[in-house]
Structure 1
Amino acid sequence: MNCPASLSIVIPCYDEEEVLPSTYARLKELCLGWVNAGKITEYEIVFVNDGSTDKTFDIMRGFFESDQNVVVVDFRKNFGFQSAISAGLYAAKNEMIVSIDSDLQNDPEKIAEMVAKYYEGYEMVLGVRKDRAADKFFKRITAQLFYKLVSFFGIPSVYNHADFRLLSRDIVAELKNFPERARYLRSLIFSVESKYACVYYECRARALGRSKFNFSKMVSLAIDGITSFSAMPIRLISLLGIVMFLFSIIGLVYTLCVRFFLQAVVPGWASVLLIILFLGGIQNLSLGVIGEYLSKLYLEAKQRPPYIIRREYRHK
């Protein structure tokens, strides 16, 4: 790899007016230090406004007007975190492209280690949390459950890696060949590159504001991640259907044997009702899973863009 190389930092934002000033100041300080130390040749900071409803965009515009190294991508509406990251990656012009959360709970100083890995020949460097001790109990449990499900369904991923990563410009160019609307970059990147390095960091507490990534968004991201990269849920439904069919045959044979050979009637209306309720629940669950896949096909078939940019602000 070229050493030193140029660096772009992508920051997706939705209603982050509280944290943006300190985030920008910290990243600018670090980037200038890396330039002066000869670790990078130049840098740019790419802010993506994901349809914010507060003063986030105005703050970004202020950064842009006072700093030649700032780029602003302004969405027409909120398209979601993964779309915002994608737009920022595609807007970035430098050789190394890092995506990082706007609240800097991902340690920005670790970007220097990512850059060092890039110079060692890795075009994909993943930021991985050392642990989840800082998380609340519920979030820690649900995160562990999600990663276990991802592993069970055979979806490529790295445990405790979110969206803090470095990608080469070539890998980002390859990602453009994947046009799907429901994007799950944590696994999509492995469709492009299998060789990667990891940089481990401690997740910091959020200094200001509150996270906009609520429980419903986490569930939506998990569903997108599973249904976009694995057909196993559909196969499990088929397998469950076969197992239930076999059990019903066994139950039928047992009932007939008791009735005709023992001259008795199998009692148990309560158990029959429970079985009916159980089967009804399984059917509804199966329809829900199938519906998720059908809705994804429906959205992809319409070929709507994953995001719409109102304007990109860039210094010539």
Structure 2
Amino acid sequence: MKLSIVTTLYYSEPYIAEFYERISTAAQRITDDYELILVNDGSPDESLSAALALYEKDKRVIVIDFAKNFGHHKAIMTGLSYAQGDYVFLIDSDLEEQPENLDLFWNELHAAPNIDVVYGTQYKRKGGWFEKITGNIFYKLFNI
């Protein structure tokens, strides 16, 4: 497996179909050897049903379902534990970040032989103060 794409689902049902189409198109520009791991974090909407419908039409889709909400961090870590790719791309499914950014990250990763990790942050994010503080802590720890 060349590429694993990992995302979480929580109140994501309105976005899943478009996310799937856009991330699949972006991935196929790079390789046909990819998997899309969807971790349903106990979402109370129809996210799980939408994810299972994608699995039925595309066996590259892997669906992991939490019986209750454990939080974004646990969902991402679980998705990472299932990832089989030589490369892993983490992205939220709510389309706040553009799935087409996969190309940018892929190109940057392969710009030099000594690059192991490429990540980006948004200049302006949606979300409240809690999300902003915990996000900042995550990125500071990630940079250690």
TM over 0.5: yes
In 1: Cα distance, 2:30 partner to 2:120 partner = 19
Instruction: Give the number of the structure with larger relative contact order, counting CA–CA contacts within 8 Å between residues 6 or more apart.
Output: 2
5+ residue gaps in structure 2?
Answer: none
Counterpart for residue 128 of structure 1 = 121
Q: In the alignment, is the contact (CA less than 8 A) between 1:13 and 1:49 conserved in 2?
A: yes
TM-score if structure 2 supplies the norm length? Answer: 0.84
5+ residue gaps in structure 1?
Answer: 36-40, 151-161, 164-183, 192-316
In 2: Cα distance, 1:85 partner to 1:67 partner = 21
In 1: Cα distance, 2:66 partner to 2:42 partner = 6
In 2: Cα distance, 1:74 partner to 1:84 partner = 9
| Change over 3 Å in CA distance of 1:93–1:185 after alignment to 2 | farther
| Change over 3 Å in CA distance of 1:68–1:135 after alignment to 2 | closer
Counterpart for residue 81 of structure 1 = 72
Q: In the alignment, is the contact (CA less than 8 A) between 2:2 and 2:85 conserved in 1?
A: yes
AA of the residue aligned to 1:73: I
SS in structure 2 opposite 1:111? helix
Q: CA deviation at 1:127?
A: 1.1
Task: Return structure 1 stretches of 4+ with deviation > 6 angstroms.
Answer: none
The question of 1:15 aligning with 2:27 is answered: no
Count of residues paired in the alignment: 141
Counterpart for residue 45 of structure 2 = 54
**1:206-285 → structure 2 map (5 Å cutoff):** none
Counterpart for residue 305 of structure 1 = none
Counterpart for residue 157 of structure 1 = none
Identity of aligned pairs, percent?
A: 29
Q: Which has the higher helix share?
A: 1
After superposition, the C-alpha distances for 1:25-49 in whole angstroms (9 at most, x for unaligned) are 11111112222xxxxx621111000
In 1: Cα distance, 2:22 partner to 2:100 partner = 10
The question of 1:69 aligning with 2:60 is answered: yes
Q: In the alignment, is the contact (CA less than 8 A) between 2:26 and 2:102 conserved in 1?
A: no
In 2: Cα distance, 1:111 partner to 1:15 partner = 23
RMSD (CA atoms): 2.7
**1:1-316 → structure 2 map (5 Å cutoff):** 6-35=2-31, 42-119=33-110, 120=112, 121-129=114-122, 131-132=123-124, 142=129, 146=133, 162=135, 185-191=138-144
Structure ID, larger Rg: 1
TM-score if structure 1 supplies the norm length? Answer: 0.40
In 1: Cα distance, 2:46 partner to 2:126 partner = 28
